[in-house]
Amino acid sequence: MNNRAIHLPHDDQDCGWYAALPPAVAPRRLVGRHQVDYAVIGAGFAGLAAARRLAEHHPHARIALIDAQRVGEGASGRNSGFVIDLPHKMALEHPDAAHKQRLLGLNRSAIDQLQRLIGQHRIDCQWSPAGKYQGAVGPRGLAYLEHFEGLLRDLGEPFRSVEGDELANVLGTRHYSRAVFTQGSWLMQPAALVRGLADSLPENVELLEQSPIQGLQRDSQGQWLLQGTEGQVRTPQLLLGTSIFTQEFGYLRSRLLPVMTFASWTRPLAQAEMQTLGIQSDWGLTPADHAGTTVRMTQDNRLMIRNTYKHVPRYGKSVNDNTRRDIRAGHRKALLARYPQLENVEFTHTWGGVYAISRNFTNFFGELESGVYATACDNGVGAAWGTVSGTLLADMATGADSQHLQDIRAVTGMPSRNPPEPLLGLGVRTRIRLASWNSRGEL
């Protein structure tokens, strides 16, 4: 039960994905008193999936989906636009093969679900089966790449090594020594996708945007009271798709680490510029060294650079304009290292997005207390994990069962407790700086 002030999202207003969308229709806000059967807080991938699934189970129930911002403005609309099927980073190193196969199955079920909804509702979000490159620049990256190949062999997953002219003819640069290509990931425009998912919600889901919940408590009858600035929601069942902000409601405190990553992108490149670079449209590359640089070429020919990690205990308020200018300069350096021909092409947007990680790299999924359910801590794979965990959280809340629900219970647990401040902040900042220094050749 919350008994302190809730710190709200404070995202920058420079997210390129969101700025590229047509203007949104006027939002419906939480005003007055509402009694609902289910309330879902957070309208990102997890909350949208949970609300949809609740409506499928109970088409006559009244369901409120509440977000402090507009759909697409938060973390789900700020990522790099990958929907990744493979277990991510350290999860791929898990010693239990069955654990990794469960993760793979859950991620692929999320991709199947998103593809079905995109087709059914004709969501225009640059959805593409483009796969993913994982690229290495120098010896450090190549060592990570070889390790990645070994993990894929152990998992029994196909991959292809790409280098030389073949790689350069896709990326338009010879900056990378080699890459590993895997087919199972999809690319998309994240803000467009989550807005499309919101626009196609079932009729019994009431979406309330720009409606921050600032208080949460139980009443004398055991129902939950969600207090907004102009209204209140009362419900017996509450689902939290709030990621890092779950701790603001009094749950998982001292177990989640708020980390922000940053991206910048260019205007759409002209066809002549594309030909000069010798670059293809619609691909994505993640770094073999996880502290390196992610590069995306969108379907509308924008180049996006994503790197730089910050510990943000006050979320967006931890980052000021000077920090963002320094980050953009770093992105500019990474862009020109790969594409020196673009020295006259400036970035049009630079933005950050907050996500939750845990020290033991464990996702939380389940019931926090009677009538309160949460999925939190996606550890950097929010699109697929949010979709499948939100769906299965609704199954759990309604008493449904499935093999996927059994699988997600098997692969999740309790994030480990963090040390107290100031030790936590000092440790995280030191680790981020060390990773950046060690990976400087891959940036």
- Establish if 432 belongs to a structural domain: yes
Q: Which residues contact 181 (CB under 8 A, 6 or more apart)?
A: 131, 132, 133, 134, 159, 160, 161, 162
38 φ, ψ to 5°?
A: -140, 140
Same domain, 305 and 355: yes
DSSP 60-110: TS-EEEE-SS-TTSSGGGSS-SEE--SPPGGGGG-S-HHHHHHHHHHHHHH
Tokens at residue 439, please? 């990976």
For residue 29, the number of C-alpha atoms closer than 13 Å in the C-beta half-sphere is 13
The percent of residues above 90 in pLDDT, for the chain, comes to 88
Same domain, 161 and 28: no
Same domain, 405 and 433: no
pLDDT of residue 338: 98
Q: What average pLDDT does this structure show over 348-364?
A: 93
Q: Domain holding 133: CATH number? A: 3.30.9.10
Same domain, 204 and 315: no
pLDDT of residue 380: 64
Same domain, 393 and 369: yes
pLDDT of residue 148: 96
Chain mean pLDDT for the chain: 95
**CA dihedral of 35, 41, 43, 47, whole degrees rounded to 10:** -100
- Establish if 47 belongs to a structural domain: yes
Same domain, 31 and 174: no
231 by DSSP, 3-state: which? strand
Per-residue pLDDT tens for 101-126? 999 999 999 999 999 999 999 999 99
198: left (phi over 0), alpha (psi -120 to 50) or beta: alpha
Same domain, 381 and 320: no
pLDDT of residue 3: 47
DSSP 178-199: EEEEESS-EE--HHHHHHHHHH
Under DSSP, the state recorded for 291 is: T
Task: Output the CA–CA distances (angstroms, integers) from residue 24 to 71, 163, 192, in the order listed.
Answer: 9, 43, 11
- Establish if 133 belongs to a structural domain: yes
- Establish if 2 belongs to a structural domain: no
**Which of 35-44, 52-61, 373-382 shows the lowest per-residue confidence on average (mean pLDDT)?**
373-382
pLDDT above 80: residue 4? no
CA atoms of 211 and 69, how far apart (whole Å): 7
DSSP H helices in 283-381: 321-338
- Establish if 23 belongs to a structural domain: yes
Band of pLDDT at residue 433, cut at 50, 70 and 90: confident
Same domain, 401 and 347: no
Output the 3-class SS for 355-403.
EEECCCCCCEEEEEECCEEEEECCCCCHHHHHHHHHHHHHHHHHCCCCH
Q: What average pLDDT does this structure show over 184-204?
A: 98
Which structural domain range is residue 53 located in? 16-77+191-256+362-420
Same domain, 293 and 167: yes
Count the Cβ atoms, other than its own, within 10 Å of residue 395: 19
pTM: 0.96
